[in-house]
Amino acid sequence: MMQRPGPIAVVELSNRHGRHAPFNAAFLRTIALGFPGRQVAFWADPTHIEAVRPLLDSAAGLTFHPIALHEDGMGVTHSSFPRIRHGLARLRQVHAAHEGRAVAMVVSGSSPSAMLAAWLLQRMGGPPVQVPLHGEVNALREGWRSRNPLARCIDLMAALRRCPGPRLRLLALEHHVAEALVELAPWLAGLVDVMPHPAGAALPEVPLPARPLRIGTLGIATRGRGFDLWLRLAAELGGLPGLSLHHVGPLHRDFAGRPMTGLTDPPDESHLPREVYLSRLQALHYVCVPAQGRYYDLAASGTLLDAVAAGKPVVALRHRSLERFFEGAGDIGFLCRDEAELRQVLRDLAVGFDPARHARQAANVRRLQRQRMPEALAEGYARGLAALVR
């Protein structure tokens, strides 16, 4: 009797409830489609499983298994020995549950604690591991490291120096992320797989009146994402006839008490339920991405992927990640050199909005969305993971 191929275990060590649920759902479907006939086992906090499961159809081979997360999470850029011990215990639990038959383990979460725990499992004879990179690696741009030698030996830079190798590979969720990471850490060349960040399922198209023209920013309103610039633009332009400026998402504490002059819909004071967030996103004509500098060099933009899922054209400041995103996509919006050009584009849209061009832009975004569905990404992802899955 032929033995069933060993499973691929996907372990979520960081997130509870709905955080990263849309990504994990799309990622799981991509893996399942890329490896038909092989079990894909998802291990996560029970509240996270509850959030992910409804976003998946009955993809063959997917199973769900609860684990207990560390009470304080796995941290972001700074690690701790208790977190590493906890992560290792959970990974050993998963390895034992599959009776050592797992052909690969995907540890979702690029905190140094999770990466070091996966590396220790490797040294104990565990299966090969792939670690998808999320926003944690953006901290490498700051360059700060603790002077405490114990803290430095388990921080993000230490983990990136020690852990990756032939049996522990990283997964960058955009080509520009892999390029920027290898620029900062040249020793990682050849150890980073790449897959475009999957988009969520396409949201239904909602007919919108041409006026007022609704343009908004998305996600947590932070300085890194350009919310301070958006506030300046709203104060200047929010009163223009026919133009309505919005923010869809919660307010970061850094902006507590700041006036929101010119914003028709300011940020919410608390977490926004996903269904409310998507409903407000669907009511926009354009999504604005005012992040400046190199904020998205080492991380894919989840808000940009939300815009793609909703079929919304983009008005954005130019940087490497956006340039790569716009390449080959056709006219999907406006890529601006600087703040002055962004301001002018918003003024021009307020005065001369062209519904026909907007419809063409939206159609191009919808086409881009289809290119980032799990069905389109599965074969390429499977080829990249083939070095680990035997």
Token pair of 31, please?
């893996």
Q: Which of 246, 180, 185 is nearest to 212 (CA)?
A: 246
Q: Is 270 exposed, middle or buried (0-12, 13-18, 19+ CB in 10 A)?
A: exposed
Question: How many other β-carbons are positioned within 10 Å of the β-carbon of residue 16?
Answer: 17
Query: What CA–CA distance (Å, rounded) separates 333 from 362?
Result: 9
Same structural domain, 193 and 217? no
Number of domains in the chain: 2
- What's at 113, amino acid-wise? S
- Tell me the C-alpha to C-alpha distance, in Å, between residue 123 and each of 105, 117, 129, 133, 170: 14, 10, 12, 21, 17
Domain-located, residue 3: no
Query: What CA–CA distance (Å, rounded) separates 163 from 167?
Result: 9
pLDDT band at 59 (very low <50, low <70, confident <90, very high): low
Domain-located, residue 207: no
**Whether pLDDT at 292 is above 90:** no
Residue-by-residue DSSP string for 241-260: TTEEEEEESBBPGGGTT---
- DSSP 8-state assignment for residue 265: E
**Whether pLDDT at 56 is above 70:** yes
Query: What sign for the dihedral angle of Cα 64, 70, 73, 77?
Result: negative
Query: What CA–CA distance (Å, rounded) separates 157 from 53?
Result: 34
Same structural domain, 160 and 12? yes
Domain-located, residue 259: yes
**Whether pLDDT at 109 is above 80:** no
**How does pLDDT run across 301-354, given as a tens digit for each residue?**
888 889 999 999 999 999 888 888 888 899 999 999 999 999 999 999 999 999
Give ∠ CA 166-29-69 in degrees, rounded to 5: 70
Q: Which of 60, 93, 69, 81 is nearest to 20 (CA)?
A: 69
**Whether pLDDT at 40 is above 50:** yes
Q: Residue 41's domain spans which residues?
A: 8-198+374-385
What lies within 8 Å, CB to CB, of 140 at 6+ separation is 156, 157, 160, 181, 184, 185, 298
Domain-located, residue 142: yes
Q: Average pLDDT, stretch 142-147?
A: 81
**Whether pLDDT at 1 is above 50:** no
**CATH label of the domain that carries residue 259:** 3.40.50.2000
pLDDT number for residue 93: 96
Same structural domain, 21 and 68? yes
**Whether pLDDT at 46 is above 50:** yes
Same structural domain, 340 and 351? yes
Domain-located, residue 208: no
Q: What are the backbone angles phi and psi of residue 302, rounded to the nearest 5°? A: -65, -35
Same structural domain, 167 and 261? no
Query: What CA–CA distance (Å, rounded) separates 74 from 85?
Result: 11
Domain-located, residue 206: no
Q: Average pLDDT, stretch 209-216?
A: 94
Question: How many other β-carbons are positioned within 10 Å of the β-carbon of residue 86?
Answer: 20
Counting residues of the chain whose pLDDT is more than 70, the rounded percentage is 97
Same structural domain, 279 and 169? no
Query: What CA–CA distance (Å, rounded) separates 376 from 1?
Result: 34
Same structural domain, 170 and 285? no
The alpha-carbon radius of gyration of the chain (Å, integer) is: 22
β-strands 168-172, 129-132: how paired? parallel
| Contact status, residue 262 vs residue 237, Cβ threshold 8 Å | yes
Same structural domain, 48 and 187? yes
- Quickly tell me which residue has 């499992």 as its tokens: 121
Mean of all residue pLDDT scores within the chain: 90
Same structural domain, 122 and 95? yes
Domain-located, residue 357: yes
Q: What are the backbone angles phi and psi of residue 78, rounded to the nearest 5°? A: -115, 135
**How does pLDDT run across 69-98, given as a tens digit for each residue?**
988 777 666 688 999 999 999 999 999 999
| Contact status, residue 123 vs residue 148, Cβ threshold 8 Å | no
| Contact status, residue 238 vs residue 245, Cβ threshold 8 Å | yes
Do you find a cis peptide bond into 212, omega within 30 degrees of 0? Answer: yes
Q: What are the backbone angles phi and psi of residue 216, rounded to the nearest 5°? A: -145, 155
Query: What sign for the dihedral angle of Cα 88, 89, 92, 93?
Result: negative
What pTM does this model have? 0.91
Query: What CA–CA distance (Å, rounded) separates 89 from 262?
Result: 51
pLDDT number for residue 294: 76
Query: What CA–CA distance (Å, rounded) separates 112 from 218?
Result: 28
